[in-house]
Amino acid sequence: MGIVSLFLLGACNNKAEYTREAYTHNHEGDDHHDHDHDHEGENNGHSSDEITIAPEKARADGVVSTVIQPITFHQVIKTGGQVLTAQGDERTVVATVAGIVSINNKLVEGTAVGKGASLLTLSSRNMADGDPAERARIAYEMSKKEYERMQALVGNKIVSEKEFAQAKQTYENARIAYEAIAANSSSKGVNVVAPIAGYIKNLLVKEGDYVEAGTPLVSVTQNVRLFLRADVSEKYYADLHTINSANFCTPYNNKVYELKKMNGRLLSYGKSAGDNGYYIPVTFEFDNQDGIVPGAYVEIFLLSLPLPNTIALPHTALTEEQGSFFVYLQVDDEGYKKQLVTLGVDNGESIQILTGVKAGDRVVTDGAYQVKLASATSAIPAHTHEH
């Protein structure tokens, strides 16, 4: 009995020790868990779906946010068209005499020229008919002598009035022809000059070509005023009378041009489709303030009826993921939130926002891609230790 009593007492002591160790270990785990939970709860008060970017980092990355307010937007008809030279701003230079073309140095399409500047030379010195300037000079001098001779004789009735009138007409024609050529004649031939100041649009001949009098040689454009012709589908015919302005963008840069900022105005819209397709022309006129290339085909956004109290954002505010579009709302100094939006009409520079953003929201309008990169970085899970 004594031996049994000692055995039971030892077992009880071992059980109590084991219970104390288990209790201590469990509570140590609770402390460790509470400690980890406290760290997870930290993060400057931001929720788990927020993106955190320090203000200094945001400024360095070009992140700019704007408080959004409703504006007056416009219905948009998106189409294509072409920039054309306005009437009266382009001249075609033709050959005044027949001859061989000699193009002046550095004359290429796009070259700036002043009024009266020499463009090319026409020479006929080695041709069978000879130099037209020299022939004109000889004809002028001979007709002048004959006219002066008859002028002295007509008073004495030695020559008739009819003969004198014929001599005078011959002299005047020769004088006009000679003066027209002599003004631009040189030792190399007849110079062809620019009738207006502007730029060489088309060089219609090449070095060594033979041309007849009246052959087009060069076209010169001033590019002061330009036309914008939009080709609109017939299905929008009923809406054409509501169009008041347009935006357009060219294939050679990413800039959006606004006619209202370029002294633009609507000239006319067609009353029927063109002969070459099912499109109706709508024509605008505007100042060429930005070096726009005449003849370029452009993407056009025709502005129609106003849409008051509209939320609109610039293209730079949007990011796209698998066909869906998002913006980033700034919730505090360093916190941003990704927001799904529904898009409406696009005027080339801004897009109507149907859902997702309301008046008073602060939206990232520049640097949205940098916020997206920061979002992807923060989504990478942190390394954890397991005990």
> Tens digit of pLDDT per residue, the chain (387 long)?
455 454 444 544 444 444 444 444 444 444 444 444 444 444 455 556 789 999 999 999 999 999 999 999 999 999 999 999 877 678 899 988 888 898 887 788 878 888 888 888 888 776 666 667 777 778 888 998 888 888 888 777 788 888 888 888 998 888 887 777 766 776 677 888 888 888 888 889 988 898 888 899 998 888 788 899 999 999 999 899 999 999 999 988 878 999 999 999 999 988 766 555 688 999 999 988 766 888 889 999 999 999 999 999 999 999 999 999 999 999 999 899 999 999 999 999 999 999 999 999 999 999 999 999 988 776 544 444 444
Residue with tokens 């009437």: 87
Q: Could you give the C-alpha distances from 223 to 108, 118, 384, in angstroms and in order? A: 17, 20, 67
Q: Are 213 and 272 in contact (CB under 8 A)?
A: no
Residue 167, H or E segment: helix 161-182
> For residue 242, what pLDDT is reported?
94
DSSP secondary structure string, 171-198? HHHHHHHHHHHHTTEETTEEEEE-SSSE
The whole-angstrom distance between residue 352's C-alpha and the CA centroid of its chain comes to 21
What residues does each domain of the chain span?
A: 51-70+311-378, 76-86+224-308, 93-221
For residues 246 and 223, what is the distance between their CA atoms, to the nearest angstrom?
19
| Helix, strand, coil % over all residues of the chain, rounded to 5 | 30, 35, 35
Angle between helices 161-182 and 132-154 (to 10 degrees): 150
Give whole-number Cα distances, 376 to 39, 89, 321, in Å.
22, 54, 13
pTM across the whole model: 0.62
| DSSP H or E stretch at residue 113 | strand 112-113
pLDDT at 191: 84
Task: Give the CATH fold of the 76-86+224-308 domain.
Answer: Elongation Factor Tu (Ef-tu); domain 3 (2.40.30)
**CATH 2.40.50.100 fits domain 93-221:** yes
Return the pLDDT at 155: 75
Residue 337 tokens, joined: 């939130």
- Residue written as tokens 């992807």? 376
Secondary structure letter of residue 317 according to DSSP: G
Cα–Cα distance for residue pair 284/200, rounded to 1 Å: 24
**Gyration radius of the chain's alpha carbons:** 42
| Whether domain 51-70+311-378 has CATH 3.30.110.70 | no
